Structure 1
Amino acid sequence: MSDTLPNLHRKIERARELRSVVSTMKGLAAASISQFEKSTRALDDYYRAVQLGLSVCLRASRRDTSKGSALSIVEPRVKQNIELTAAVVFGSDQGLVGQFNEAIAQYSAQELAALPGRKKIWVVGERAQDHLLGADLSLAGFFTVPLSVQAITPLVGQILIEILAGGETHRRTAGQQGSQQESQRESVQQLYLFYNSRRSGAVYEPVSQRLLPLDETWRRSMARIPWPTRKLPEVLGSSTTTLQALIREYLFVSLFRACAESLASENASRLAAMERAERNIDQLREDLQKTFYRLRQSKIDEELFDVIAGVEALTGAQQPKHRAD
């Protein structure tokens, strides 16, 4: 047998230490799931309030064309010659999450391939970035996955600045270089979010959400949301300013929810992977223990046989020889 007792003992100890690490990671994943799910549920009421506010503003300004300026971020005044679709793909920075990154990378690649125009992709998570590069997709930017609920807000701000404000900066730069380049302005006309959404337990599925443009279809769907009471509200002050503020909150909450759901799904996948790892380690330790006991018993048997053989040899040598009469 190739394994020796010291080698088997070391393997058993390493398996025990590895199981301790896996148990710790399992506990962290379970705690992370709880905090990200709580943050998602906490946003539901606020998201509903934003939708109701948008519904009121859009109904009030439906017949007032001047209110359309609030949607200038997705309806540029100058006709765009370059169609650009932006996408944000949420993945993970760390491994041990099963097929989490493969699933979202494959899904987003298939969905983006069906969309017209040029694509610019921003990815959240190093592991997802590797899979998207393997799918021959050109990436425009990279963001680090937040490790807590508090870190999601700065990430959302960075995404909005990078994708939306970045387009505005490019347009201003192009405008300074002459009227010929002014016609080639570039801005984001469509923005899609791709992320894994948790269903139950460790089950999740890749989903997509079209965040921009806030077109007529989106406005009609928002305007149809009924007010929950008979006391109809009215917009005080500038409805355009209110609408712009609500749109900013709508974009922020949508990105925040997508990130939080992705993080909850990531930790659910990691929890399931750690549970599988625990079972595998326990089975491995059991097999190693059996092999260790069997080998030790074999060594004990060999030593007993040697002792018995020695005793028999010694006893036989000490017996007197009988002479024949």
Structure 2
Amino acid sequence: MSDSTATLQRKISNAGELEAVVRTMKALAASSISQYERAVNSLDEYYRTVQLGLLACLRQGAPMSSNVHKHTVATGVIIFGSDQGLVGQFNDELADFAAHVLRDLPGNKVVWAVGERVQLRLEQIGLTPDSLFGVPTAIHAVTPLIGRILAEIGRYSEQGRVEQVYIFHNRPKSGALYEPVSQRLLPLDATWQHELLAQQWPTQNLPEIIGESALTLAAFIREYLFVSLFRSCVESLASENASRLAAMQRAEKNIEEMLVDLRLSYHRLRQSGIDAELFDVVSGFELLISNKKK
């Protein structure tokens, strides 16, 4: 009986320690979500500003340089996943979504994975990454990562090995945790220009480019590529922490239910032991009284 209660006490103690760890991870995830959500909101406004700058340049007739090759060797694919676990189906759903979209695109694929977890899932479904990047652990670490990715894209593009580039990531969604989305980053071809020119200027005051329009357009294009990747990365980080928060909430609930069961079992076992000891005392007392009467 003592061994059983001791075992239950150890299980209760271990479950309590695990609950404390889960609560800590839950608090960290909630704290991270807030900073990434603020960054996403700020980037939405900045992204819109960059788009308006590009629109102004194109309407003023700034020349667009074209690096389109006659034969596309491969399609570049950037997939933002996670390095850490405890995120539910975060990486699986994203990898499956990317595989479904890429199935309709012709040619070979050059895959750049951001996160070891999504890399493993991509390998399982036949999309072995050519390069792996680590997931930023804070907002200030996003900029160096985007710089490395842009350098990799530039190297492949200059060599004529990649013409078009797609981004895949999870985006926060109201009413749900997240949803996998895709965006064509390159090329900035006639289709992209037509979609941009279809937008309306927000005011009646039309803009005017001061200085060399080609240089201004090139600067806006660099900023467009940077902010597109930056926003995708931050949205992925916000989604990852939202998924981890939900997983920690489920784990916390399961641990609480397990602790209730363990404590009930411990109290029942302890009470049964006390009852047995009392029964032995009463039986012994009655036996002594019976012997005295005899």
Post-superposition CA distance 1:2-32 (Å, at most 9, x none): 9700110111111111111111111111111
The 8 Å contact of residues 26 and 275 in structure 1, kept in 2 or not, is answered as yes
Distance across 2 between alignment mates of 1:81 and 1:211:
18
For residue 166 of structure 1, report the CA deviation from its aligned partner. 3.9
Q: What are the ranges of 5 or more consecutive residues in structure 1 without an aligned counterpart?
A: 172-185, 321-325
1:5/1:42 Cα in 2 relative to 1: closer, same or farther (>3 Å)? same
Question: Is the partner of 1:89 in helix, strand or coil?
Answer: strand
Question: Is the partner of 2:188 in helix, strand or coil?
Answer: coil
Question: Is the partner of 1:298 in helix, strand or coil?
Answer: helix
Q: What are the ranges of 5 or more consecutive residues in structure 2 without an aligned counterpart?
A: none
With the length of structure 2 as denominator, give the TM-score of the two structures.
0.96
Name the counterpart of 1:178: none
Distance across 2 between alignment mates of 1:215 and 1:2:
76
Please point out which of 234, 237, 249 is paired with 1:275. 249
Post-superposition CA distance 1:206-265 (Å, at most 9, x none): 110111111101111212322222221111111111111100000111101111111111
Letter in 1 for 2:271: Q
2:90 paired with 1:96: no
2:228 paired with 1:257: no
2:215 paired with 1:241: yes
Letter in 1 for 2:135: V
2:20 paired with 1:24: no
Computing the radius of gyration over CA atoms, which structure comes out larger, 1 or 2? 1
Segments of 4+ moved more than 4 angstroms: none
Post-superposition CA distance 1:126-152 (Å, at most 9, x none): 110000000011211001110111111
1:291/1:225 Cα in 2 relative to 1: closer, same or farther (>3 Å)? same
2:112 paired with 1:138: no
The 8 Å contact of residues 111 and 130 in structure 2, kept in 1 or not, is answered as yes
Distance across 2 between alignment mates of 1:307 and 1:200:
65
After superposition, residues 1-325 of structure 1 pair within 5 angstroms as 4-61=4-61, 67-69=63-65, 72=66, 75-76=67-68, 79-168=69-158, 171=159, 186-200=160-174, 202-320=176-294
Distance across 2 between alignment mates of 1:198 and 1:43:
14
Identity of aligned residues (%): 54
For residue 318 of structure 1, report the CA deviation from its aligned partner. 2.1
Distance across 1 between alignment mates of 2:93 and 2:286:
70
Q: Which moved more, 1:144-153 or 1:220-229?
A: 220-229
The 8 Å contact of residues 202 and 268 in structure 1, kept in 2 or not, is answered as no
Q: Which moved more, 1:235-244 or 1:195-204?
A: 195-204
For residue 80 of structure 1, report the CA deviation from its aligned partner. 4.3
Distance across 2 between alignment mates of 1:129 and 1:107:
14
The 8 Å contact of residues 54 and 223 in structure 1, kept in 2 or not, is answered as no
1:193/1:2 Cα in 2 relative to 1: closer, same or farther (>3 Å)? farther
The 8 Å contact of residues 156 and 162 in structure 2, kept in 1 or not, is answered as no
Measured on the aligned residues, the alpha-carbon RMSD in Å equals 1.6
